[in-house]
Amino acid sequence: MTGGVTAGSTAAAPGAEGRPGDASGEGVPAGAAPQAPPAADAYAALLEDGTDAVIRTDATGAIVAANAAARRLLGRDQAELRRAGLGGVLDPADERWGPALVERAATGWFRGELRARRPDGSTVTVDLTSTLTGDGGAVALLRTASDGAPALQSADDLRRAAEAVIDTLESVSDAYFAVDEDWTITYMNRNAELVARVDRFELVGRGFWDVFPSTRGTVFEERYRRVMSTGEPEEFEGRHEASDLWVEVRAYPLPGGGLASYSRDVTERHVAQREREELLARERAARAAAEAAQRELTAQATHDNVTGLLNRWGLLRELRATTPGSGGVVLMFLDLDRFKLINDTFGHVAGDQVLAAVAERLRRLVGPDDLLARFGGDEFVVVLRSASVRRAEDLARRLVAAAEDPIPVGHTLLPLTTSIGLAAADDASAVDTLLREADAALHRVKAEGRDGFAWFDEALHRRDVVRVETERDLRRSLRTGDALTLHFQPAFALDSTEITHIEALARWDSPGRGPVPPAEFIPVAEESGLILAVGERVLACAVRQVALWPDAASARVWVNVSPRQLAVPGLADTLLRHLDAWHVAPGRLGIEVTESTMDDGRLVAQLEEVRRLGVAVAIDDFGTGYSSLSRLAGAPVDVIKIDRSFVAAGCTPKGRALLEGIVTLAHAIGAYVIAEGIETPQQLDAIAAVGADAAAGFLLARPQPATAVSWRSAYPLPRSGGATVAPAGPR
């Protein structure tokens, strides 16, 4: 039912004693045709299926329904009977009609013989039994003498039969209405009236579509018309917009034509369903919002906010999520050369602009299936999946070339270069190994001059491992103070064969590895900063040993001082502290520095303080560095030590010329000359011939512990200028 008329109330009609057994609207077994409720059965039995002619009138006397037998008896269809009314059916010539109606009104029923009129003017005598019904209307049963049907025992039988139908229709909790084949409303129960908020007696006899136009074009019209056309019952649900109700409808065809409809209000169920759907929608929205928030948090946690690339954690997360055995990978570790200078000069904002620009260049060069990340600072990582060596090297070349294009920052174009280390593995799950190997290869590129790329190799890895182990063990030895010692190598004066200079050389006996050559541990100490502690210990031990060599009062002990030591203010004070502690005269100590030291004014100032203290200064390995003649001329230098490479080449004309030039230059600035690395008699003769002042090397004396130092040369010494003299005896 629709439009309020078909929307059934869930409450029983006033005065009803609950719902009849089958009027609850319970579901129909699958595959079975819906069964009509008892009210429909009673209605059909009385009005449609019976052989007696039955007419129903409303309280005004208007005919609202006539069954098939009545229509045949009176020769009119349903519509014609409604239009004719009671007055058009009775024979006006039959004077018995008036008293009969009066009697029925007075007693509630009437039974007697009367004459009815057909449309063609003919009449038929009928045995009429009529009774008033509870709704103010009346039911009349008409029989002719030829019907042959047994007569009702009394009018009470008719009244009871009619009232049974009415009671059934009124007692059901559903809203009920019936229409004939012309869509004229023939009946509407109390619940339908209450729900529709109408006067049902005004609606009975009127066209359904005229009374309820809002049902047109809806599921109600579609299903009702289907019942009319197919003669099959329909069950469906629909929403009536005007009354804002959801109803469950069961529509049945009536045997004589037309249909009956039962409707119940299921709005609460739909409201509950809608609330559940809204709740589910809110839950889905909340879940989606939470997932979006989680994705945002994950993105923030896994991506760099300057470049938008994956960060270190995001890259590791992606790589560790890679399925093992999914194919080989190449990892490229990129570092922007001298990026710290950009930050220090132009500020971190400019530095971030450079990083963002570099990231954009990398995006354009890296493939869509590859990973790109900013690993930290000015370091980037590219991971190539299933890449060949050729493809990896081609990309590395393009990355190096792309980095050379200046990057605009404000009105400035900043030049940039990059260094790249590459490592390959059969499985991306070996990410830690890949990163370590690529980083090691990157450091190799930087050590070899930057602005290029290199592959990792095992020898390189082993060297780095040794360096790490060396630093760790050296640090431990400096802490315990029992593994770092000194060996001493004397230099002999070529004019007197006396020991005039002794170089203190650091020696380290690692508890775990045994003796470690200075060429291995000194560079590690320089890089790690441990050279300050090593230099302090060497200085302390050397001064102490000078104090223990009273017989060598004329010899000066030399200690190497690294640029990092020299850069620390107060070197002269440190030297004086150690000299005073052992009561050693400053003239018995000298420090050796590199040639490049003379190019730094701050370091030269430190050396001048040292010389004012009385400690001598020497340039070690002279000739391997570079310093201008003007700087050397004014440098605070007492001794120049010629590097062994020039000594080794001194037997050739060109080499002899170089030696001669160095000696001449040194003497010109007032420096004493010591030639180091003498290993053959020919080398000894060559340096003597060019006028060197002293010589040192394995040919003359090897480095030894202090207690084993030999005070005489192991080989006869030539006098400066070429004459040979016998070795000096023990002092």
Domain assignment present for residue 235? The answer is yes
CA distance 184 to 143: 26
Instruction: Answer yes or no: are the C-beta atoms of 434 and 329 closer than 8 Å.
Output: yes
Residue 581's pLDDT is 94
Domain assignment present for residue 726? The answer is no
Task: Give the domain CATH number at 215.
Answer: 3.30.450.20
Strand positions, DSSP E, 7-103:
53-57, 63-66
Residue 631's pLDDT is 66
Is the predicted pLDDT of residue 205 greater than 50, yes or no? yes
Split into its structural domains, the chain has a count of: 4
Averaged pLDDT for residues 279-287: 90
Averaged pLDDT for residues 601-616: 92
Does residue 667 sit in the same domain as residue 537? yes
CA distance 384 to 361: 16
Higher pLDDT, residue 492 or 1 = 492
Quick one: how many helices (H) and strands (E) in the chain?
25, 29
DSSP 8-state symbol, 152: P
**Phi and psi (nearest 5°) for 640?**
-120, 125
Instruction: Answer yes or no: are the C-beta atoms of 181 and 71 closer than 8 Å.
Output: no
Task: Give the domain CATH number at 592.
Answer: 3.20.20.450
Averaged pLDDT for residues 623-646: 77
pLDDT tens track for 179-198:
988 899 888 887 887 777 77
Does residue 199 sit in the same domain as residue 229? yes
Does residue 497 sit in the same domain as residue 627? yes
Residue 169's pLDDT is 61
Secondary structure of 173-195 in the HEC alphabet? CCEEEEECCCCEEEEECHHHHHH
What is the DSSP code string of 464-506? HHHHHHHHHHHHHHHHHTSSEEEEEEEEEETTT--EEEEEEEE
Confidence of residue 27 (pLDDT cuts 50, 70, 90): very low
Query: H or E stretch including 617?
Result: strand 616-622
Does residue 199 sit in the same domain as residue 325? no
**Phi and psi (nearest 5°) for 67?**
-80, 180
Question: Of 42-56, 115-129, 304-318, 423-437, which gets the smallest average pLDDT?
Answer: 42-56
Is the predicted pLDDT of residue 277 greater than 60, yes or no? yes
Domain assignment present for residue 435? The answer is yes
Does residue 327 sit in the same domain as residue 250? no
Does residue 174 sit in the same domain as residue 130? no
Is the predicted pLDDT of residue 176 greater than 80, yes or no? yes
Does residue 503 sit in the same domain as residue 395? no
Instruction: Answer yes or no: are the C-beta atoms of 94 and 115 closer than 8 Å.
Output: yes
Tokens 């070349």 sit at which residue? Answer: 397
Give the number of other CB atoms < 10 A from CB of residue 288: 10
Averaged pLDDT for residues 401-424: 84
Does residue 575 sit in the same domain as residue 684? yes
Q: What pairs with residue 412 in β-bridges? A: 409
Strand 589-593 with 616-622, pairing? parallel
Higher pLDDT, residue 717 or 283 = 283
pLDDT tens track for 549-599:
876 667 899 999 998 898 889 999 999 999 999 999 999 999 999 888 887
What is the DSSP code string of 84-105? HHHHHHB-TT-TTHHHHHHHHH
Q: Which domain holds residue 649?
A: 478-696
CA distance 266 to 261: 15
CA distance 413 to 554: 61
Residue 674's pLDDT is 95
Does residue 576 sit in the same domain as residue 677? yes
CA distance 89 to 84: 7
Task: Give the domain CATH number at 376.
Answer: 3.30.70.270
Does residue 188 sit in the same domain as residue 247? yes
Does residue 74 sit in the same domain as residue 170? no
Tokens 């023939």 sit at which residue? Answer: 186
pLDDT tens track for 69-114:
888 888 888 788 888 888 888 888 888 988 888 888 887 778 888 9
Strand positions, DSSP E, 527-584:
556-560
The residue out of 146, 173, 207 marking a domain boundary is 146
Establish how many alpha carbons lie within 13 A of residue 35's alpha carbon, considering only the half-sphere containing its beta carbon: 13
Confidence of residue 159 (pLDDT cuts 50, 70, 90): low
